[in-house]
């Protein structure tokens, strides 16, 4: 088991990796050619930037913790770790990146068995590095961050994501958003789940929910929310939010009210 001092060192090294790769992504965005887009599926876009960013991350993290395996979005590495594995989204917000919308991030989480113990999310355009280790609090650029103090939905701003494929559940989305629009300060769609989670952690929004996400979309962000004093569950209030594809994150104070609204439409 890693000690707190070992985790702290790994965290510092992981931040440097995220920033280095973020600089590469920022540079490539300046002259990005949309003809280089590939389609993994309907509206599921990827570019050489995603692939090269992931290759760089895997290469660098392999040196930091050689015994760890990887869960990666683009399949750069399928190495399995017995106890530790990195969960990586090299460019969370690819569609934003392709269209030149400045909300995208590098997301790196480290899991010990089934628990996330470290998370780094580097929001590339604002040069904001959010990070946390288990039991160590949450930070953005060396400043401690905390969730907001809002007590109810009526004082809250909520973020979410929209389905871009698999539209079978779109009515549930629209109905839950319709309800939340009438109960909150409003809804926001940033286009990056990693950024959404960090904004909850930093108190910029009070809650976030989304369906059909993958582990690499949320692993890093969830521990940052938790270490900032927030709460993360699946739609049923359970703990299956890393691999269960349904996630609700909040400042904790609105969590019950927020979850009740979602369960009305999601069961």
Annotated binding-site positions for Mg(2+): 73, 89, 91-92, 217
- What are the phi and psi torsion angles at 69 (to 5°)? -90, -170
Closest C-alpha among 136, 137, 110, 109 to residue 1: 110
Residue 146 near residue 153 (C-beta atoms within 8 A): no
Q: Phi and psi for 179 in degrees, rounded to 5?
A: -65, -45
What gap in Å lies between CA 127 and CA 28, rounded to an integer? 16
| DSSP string computed for the chain | ---HHHHHHHHHHHHHHHHHHHHHHHHHHHT--GGG-EEEETTEEE-HHHHHHHHHHHHHHHHH-TT-EEEESS-S-----SSEEEEEEEEETHHHHHHT-S--EEEEEEEETTEEEEEEEEETTTTEEEEEETTS-EEETTEE-------SGGG-EEEE---SS-GGGHHHHHHHHHHHHHHSSEEE--S-HHHHHHHHHTTS-SEEEEES--HHHHHHHHHHHHHTT-EEE-TTSSS--SSSSEEEEE-STTHHHHHHHHHHHH-
Please state the residue numbers annotated as binding site: 73, 89, 91-92, 217
């Amino acid at each position: 088991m890693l000690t707190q001092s070992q985790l702290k060192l790994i965290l510092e090294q992981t931040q440097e990796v995220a920033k280095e790769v973020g600089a590469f992504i920022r540079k490539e965005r300046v002259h990005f050619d949309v003809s280089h887009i590939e389609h993994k599926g309907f509206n599921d876009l990827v570019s050489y930037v995603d692939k090269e960013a992931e290759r760089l991350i895997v290469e660098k993290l392999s040196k930091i913790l050689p015994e760890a395996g990887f869960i990666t979005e683009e399949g750069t590495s399928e190495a399995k770790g017995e106890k530790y594995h990195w969960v990586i989204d090299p460019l969370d917000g690819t569609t934003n990146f392709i269209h030149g919308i400045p909300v995208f991030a590098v997301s790196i989480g480290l899991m010990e068995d089934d628990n996330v113990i470290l998370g780094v999310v580097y929001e590339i355009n604002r040069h904001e590095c959010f990070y946390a280790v288990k039991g160590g609090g949450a930070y953005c650029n060396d400043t401690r961050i905390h969730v907001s103090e809002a007590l109810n939905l009526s004082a809250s701003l909520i973020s979410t994501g929209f389905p871009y494929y698999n539209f079978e559940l779109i009515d549930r989305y629209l109905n839950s958003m319709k309800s939340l629009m009438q109960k909150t300060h409003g809804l926001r769609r940033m286009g990056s789940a990693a950024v959404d989670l960090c904004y909850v952690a930093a108190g910029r929004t009070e809650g976030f929910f989304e369906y059909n996400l993958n582990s690499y979309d949320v692993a890093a962000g969830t521990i940052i929310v938790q270490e900032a004093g927030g709460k993360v569950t699946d739609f049923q209030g359970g703990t299956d939010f890393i691999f269960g594809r349904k996630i609700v994150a909040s400042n904790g104070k609105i969590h019950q009210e927020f979850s009740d609204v979602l369960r009305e439409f999601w069961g």
